[in-house]
Copies of this chain bind each other. A is one copy, B any other.
Amino acid sequence: MKLTHEAAGTFAIAPTPFHDDGRIDDASIDRLTEFYAEVGCEGVTVLGILGEAPKLEAAEAEAVATRFIKRATKIQVIVGVSAPGFAAMRSLARASMDAGAAGVMIAPPPNLRTDAQITGYFRQAVEAIGDDIPWVLQDYPLTLTVVMTPAVIRSIVTDNPSCVMLKHEDWPGLEKISTLREFQKEGSLKPLSILTGNGGLFLDFEMERGADGAMTGYAFPELLIDVVKLSKAGLRDLAHNLFDAHLPLIRYEQQPGVGLAVRKYVLQKRGVIACSAQRKPAAAISATARAEVDYLLSRVARVDKRADLAPKSSAA
């Protein structure tokens, strides 16, 4: 049940669903969890840094994580526990594991600069949460401004046996995957699951470089699942054909800030969450943007019927 370095496939990054008035929408949490399991995700990651986790109070965060965990009987749940301090990180990590989480995810705080600061931070984080909790190292320089070389990632993974997965979302990042896999071939890096994020924008080539799967929040996890599978099956052209059909929407959804609004809009359209509202401060999308997303969906649907969300659309 616990996360290991053998984890692979698609872990969806779940948004936190709210009602229009800002309360947490438990029913939509349940539906989201069902949805991810039904379409074939291996897991779901909740309370990610780009979601609205920082907008939750500590007790709310624990409640959200627990609800996802309890509902997810068929798939693994990873809980984002990044926090300004280790006390809060430990508290959420222990509570999540007690509730049945598969592991936790930790991102570096933005003030880290030197290699030693970065490796030191994760050593202290593991001391804080305990070395019995499997965890995911999040590498996301665009948002976090912390740059980890492949050698630093190797140090962290080597020093902390409980680190079993890298959430890779450096940009550009293809060479980083190749270098890490090269480290493993030469024997200097232990087995490590690499799932890629960044909205899925480079999933096609990330798989070819050696990623084990995807961990991101694209509103069609089915696409991520299919591309991961096709790529692993060596069906390169088919993987790219499907990926390319979705790319215009992937790109649109990957925009910082507004991307989450797009994602929630699509998930609402798909009937997975009841309401696309965000807690304040919220990045809304305009009517024009919604129409652009609708247009993109209609174009994706020419190739992938699952994107056909038109109201009375007959034979989807």
Contacts and interface: CB of A to CB of B under 8 A. Distances in A.
A274 B149 CA distance: 33
Contacts of A56: 85, 87-88
Nearest to A151: B116
B54 A114 contact: no
Interface residues of A, number: 62
A257 interface: yes
Q: A interface, by DSSP: helix, strand, loop or mixed?
A: helix
Nearest to A145: B113
Given A251-B251, A281-B124, A288-B178, A84 B54 contact: yes
Contacts of A243: 248
Number of copies: 4
B289 A175 contact: yes
A172 B259 CA distance: 9
Given A57-B91, A147-B113, A251 B299 contact: no
Interface of A: 52, 54-60, 84-88, 91, 110, 113-117, 120-121, 124, 127-128, 146-149, 151-152, 171-172, 174-175, 178, 201-202, 204-205, 208-209, 240, 243-244, 247-248, 251-252, 255-259, 279-281, 286, 288-289, 292, 299
